[in-house]
Amino acid sequence: MGAGRLDAQPWLRAALAAFAESVRGLGPVLDVGCGPGIVTAHLTGLGLDASGVDLSPRMIEHARRDYPDLQFSVASATDLDLAPASMGGVLGWWSLFNLPREALPGVLRTFADALVPGGHALVGTHVGDGDIARTEGYGGLPVSWTTHLYRPEELVGMLVDAGLEMVAELGLPVQPPSLLPQVLLAARRPA
């Protein structure tokens, strides 16, 4: 989902609208693993002060080209330099499933620590068990990465362990281009 446009995704647009309404006025929002900047731009269009980071310099190049008025930087989800209680919201929009399994709890703790009280984290990912070695990306591009699948209850446990409280869980059926069910989880830092 994360690589595609949002116009054909009414439930995901609704989730982003609810997220925007929940964090508006709390501070800036960071889209971690922003790819080509589509979600970052959508959030800006919803009235948020949103910026994006991605590990791929090429993705950041695309984002800057397509959305020159927005802020994008090259950064790793595992090495974010975020001040405590500095963000109104943080997203991992179908961008955290490639992280090594042992790194994900620490990344979610970084998200939680960066949120102001009442700030929200929004995490979307593929659902399942085990890992999938990928050799072809969206559009048939050759890649070499592993998609780590999680059960929703595993991710909920990690978010709660990071110090967040659950707000919503949206299960999504198989949707092209992914052939896996998906989940979107919203959690907030207690006020």
Whole-angstrom distance, CA of residue 143 vs CA of residue 68: 27
pLDDT digits (tens, 9 = 90+) for 113-145: 999 999 999 999 999 999 988 777 656 667 777
* Domain-wise residue ranges, the chain: 10-188
As a whole number of angstroms, the longest Cα–Cα distance in the chain is: 45
When computed from its CA atoms, the radius of gyration of the chain, rounded to whole angstroms, is 15
Structure tokens at 147: 């998609």
pLDDT digits (tens, 9 = 90+) for 46-65: 999 999 999 999 999 999 99
Residue 141: the pLDDT is: 67
Q: Is the peptide bond prior to 177 cis by the omega test (within 30 degrees of 0)?
A: yes
The answer to whether residues 90 and 115 touch, using CB atoms and an 8 Å cutoff, is: yes
Sign of CA dihedral 157, 158, 160, 164: negative
Helix (H), strand (E) at residue 7: none
Instruction: Give residue 71's identity as a one-letter amino acid code.
Output: Q
What pTM was computed for the model?
0.92
CATH code matching the domain that covers 10-188, chosen among 3.40.50.150, 3.20.20.70, 3.20.20.370, 3.40.50.10860: 3.40.50.150
Whole-angstrom distance, CA of residue 177 vs CA of residue 94: 13
